[in-house]
Amino acid sequence: MKVLLVDTKLLIEPKIDSCAVAMQYRNGNLEKAISRKGKDITSKHIKVQDIPKNLPLREVLQVRGELYAPNQSPNVSQGIASGFLRAKEGFSESLSFCAFQILNATLNI
């Protein structure tokens, strides 16, 4: 017997234990990045290579995700990412960002 769940929606979210971040793009430009604690970390995120500074979009796009250290255990990754967010200047570790949710956006690519 085959069962079809036509009206079922499935959301799969990666499990990355590190530092939660929300970012907002306005007219394609990274406008603001905020930590889970509500701290403005925009100037920090400009230094993370795989976070796009510009997107081919108009209007407002909000993205949630995790800032993490690739190839590290969750505890080490979280420590490195939170250290980056606390550091005053300069940081030698390589960090990545995994976006997993788009909020309040009308996409118009």
pLDDT tens-digit profile of 31-73? 999 998 899 999 888 788 888 899 888 888 899 999 999 999 9
Closest CA to 70 of 98, 42, 100: 98
As for how many domains the chain has, the answer is: 1
User: What is the extent of the structural domain holding 83?
Assistant: 19-103
Assess if residue 33 is contained within a domain.
Answer: yes
Q: Which residues contact 72 (CB under 8 A, 6 or more apart)?
A: 80
> Which amino acid, 40?
D
Structure tokens at 46: 């400009």
Read off the CATH number of the domain in which 39 is found.
3.30.470.30
Q: Can you give the pTM of this predicted structure? A: 0.75
In angstroms, the first-to-last Cα distance of the chain is 41
- Per-chain mean pLDDT for the chain: 83
